[in-house]
Amino acid sequence: MGNPTDDSYKDLMDIIHKILGNHAPGKDGMPPIVGVKFVVGGQQNQQAPARMIPVEVFESDTAFTIQTELPGECPNDFTLSYADGKLKLLAGENREYRTELPLAGIDPTAIKTRVKNGVLEITCGKLPASLPEA
């Protein structure tokens, strides 16, 4: 997160407080903020029109976990590939939905997926060389 003394950080927090303050005022007129969610998006392929798949990325000592809601028209229609330190997710009949994430240090043989209620969860185990030492 930014430094609370940065002008850009203050501007962002002012905007968040104005939006939330109109809906859920809290103590001293400031909205109660429980947390902030950051979404990482993918890049569009220049060869065909594409729609970005927003994803959430979580990192633990041993793995990365990526979560995303798959588009309604393709709840189980997706492909994953990993090359050059990038995980690429394509979805849809014509692969019109896509995202690419830089995830260096993962073991391509330790990638697992699970779809439940339209939410795709991808678990990518880290290579032993990238694990923290005990």
Whether residues 29 and 2 fall in one domain: yes
| pLDDT at residue 95, rounded to an integer | 82
Candidates 111, 113, 124; CA nearest to 91 is: 113
Cα 12–Cα 40–Cα 119 angle in degrees, nearest 5:
120
Candidates 57, 87, 52, 56; CA nearest to 71 is: 52
Whether residues 31 and 82 fall in one domain: no
Q: What CATH number does the domain containing 55 carry?
A: 2.60.40.790
Residues spanned by the domain of 31? 1-36
- Ranges in the chain, pLDDT < 50: 1-2, 24-25, 30-31, 33-40, 42-48
Count of other CB atoms within 10 angstroms of residue 7: 8
41 within a domain of the structure (yes/no): no
Q: Are strands 56-59 and 97-102 parallel, antiparallel or unpaired?
A: unpaired
| pLDDT at residue 44, rounded to an integer | 43
| pLDDT at residue 34, rounded to an integer | 46
pLDDT tens digit string along 77-103? Answer: 888 999 988 999 988 878 888 889 998
Domain count across the chain = 2
Provide the mean pLDDT of the chain.
74
